[in-house]
Amino acid sequence: MDHHSPNTNGGFLVRFVNKTIDAVLKALRLTKYREQIVYLFVGGGTTVVDWVVFALLFALLPDLSHLPFFNAFPNAIAYTAAWAAAVLFAFWASKYFVFVEAEQAKGFSQFLKFVASRVFTLLLCLGTEFVFVTLLHVNELIVKYAICTVLNIVINYITSKLLVFKKKNPET
């Protein structure tokens, strides 16, 4: 099995996609950067999930800014729902496509670690929204799509790599 070959979990489609990724990266002589390259694509997909859910809810939900809590965090529901959808997608894609050399821990415990690591970025985005939207009156979409996205990508990669999807011990 190739050094970067994925685990055999995840079913036929996951194995097929991973073999395709490996073949493309081998042809491009980029196999040593597999994790980072695939993370960028998965991160892009996660961002799309987050943005689409947020945009739909932003457009469809009523304005709640006149209510307590929502006067400081007017888009908390949209942020939280978008975050939840993105976390579900990101966990699945990270486990099966990005961190393929990681220990394949039991799904639920690994999922809990993943969610816990993502709670920080949710709180960070809500805090960012409070500062930029509520206090500084910056457009919500600029804050969501520019500032929060960059913070999320960087922090999520670091926490996933170091806390959730640890590499297998080579002695085992």
Kindly calculate the radius of gyration of the chain based on its CA atoms and give it in whole angstroms: 18
pLDDT band, residue 3 (cuts 50/70/90): very low
Sequence-distant (6+) residues with CB within 8 A of 23 are none
3-state secondary structure of 83: helix
- Kindly tell me if the per-residue pLDDT of 1 is higher than 50: no
3-state secondary structure of 79: helix
pLDDT band, residue 104 (cuts 50/70/90): low
100 against 102, higher pLDDT: 100
Q: What angle do CA 149, 151, 155 make, to 5 degrees?
A: 120
Residue 11 region, left (φ>0) first, then alpha (ψ -120 to 50), else beta? left
Q: How far is CA 35 from CA 24, 66, 120, in A?
A: 13, 45, 23
The pLDDT tens digits for 28-81 are 999 999 999 999 999 889 989 988 999 999 999 888 888 888 887 888 898 889
Segment 91-115 mean pLDDT: 83
- Kindly tell me if the per-residue pLDDT of 110 is higher than 70: yes
pLDDT of residue 8: 54
pLDDT band, residue 130 (cuts 50/70/90): confident
